[in-house]
Structure 1
Amino acid sequence: MKKVLILLAALVSFCGLAQAQEKVQVLSTQELVNVCKLPASPESRSFCIGYTTAIYDTYLATRHPQRAKPYICVKQPAPSRDEVIGEFVKFGQSNQQVSDKPAAGVFLGFLAGRFPCARK
């Protein structure tokens, strides 16, 4: 029984090491722009809307108002989702220096520039 436990522990350690060395593929800005460009297939449109909405929702859910001041402030009535995504596609196409950067960070930066919070 003791040998089995040692073998299992060694196997778990090896699996953890193999996973730690695995490179996690991150969606680039160019890849997101390509998926979000119109005309888009229903699958591309769904992915684009889901991905960009998840980025913004994560920003909202993880920002602690007492510890981190907001930097994205969408005024109501908000523009349509398609309008904002179209503006992001234009932004991504005209700023090639960010094409290889992670899409989530660039999208948040775009939103911060598009919907800045009022200075106090």
Structure 2
Amino acid sequence: DEPAAGLDPRGRDEILGNIRTYQQTKSKTVILISHSMEDMARYSDELIVLKDSTLLLKGSLKEVFQQADIIKDAGLRLPQVTRVMLALKKKGLDVDTSVYTVEDAFKRLTDRRRSSC
């Protein structure tokens, strides 16, 4: 439960990275519990969102993060980079809003820039 709570960013990345390595090398299912959607976006393939022991959402990152209102109702926030991309889209920019990590946003934006040159 909340394995990275209270850790500095380096410690958080280290412990979550170790959990991910364990999951991948041992081919095991790992259940992480966190309020940090940034962490969930970086280290999860599927999400379950609960509120007061009630299942609100279950699915891939894209399926779950497309339900911003339900995420908010659960007392959670979309990853910050996703919120930025949604704001850019709202301002009229043609951006992909199914971006959940800074690394993915950087890659998509730089790939797009290269292809338009």
Q: Give the TM-score category using the shorter length.
A: under 0.3
User: Given the two structures, how large is their TM-score scaled by the length of structure 2?
Assistant: 0.24
Structure with the larger RCO, 1 or 2 (CA within 8 Å, 6+ apart): 1
Higher strand share: 2
Higher helix share: 1
Query: Radius of gyration: which is bigger?
Result: 1
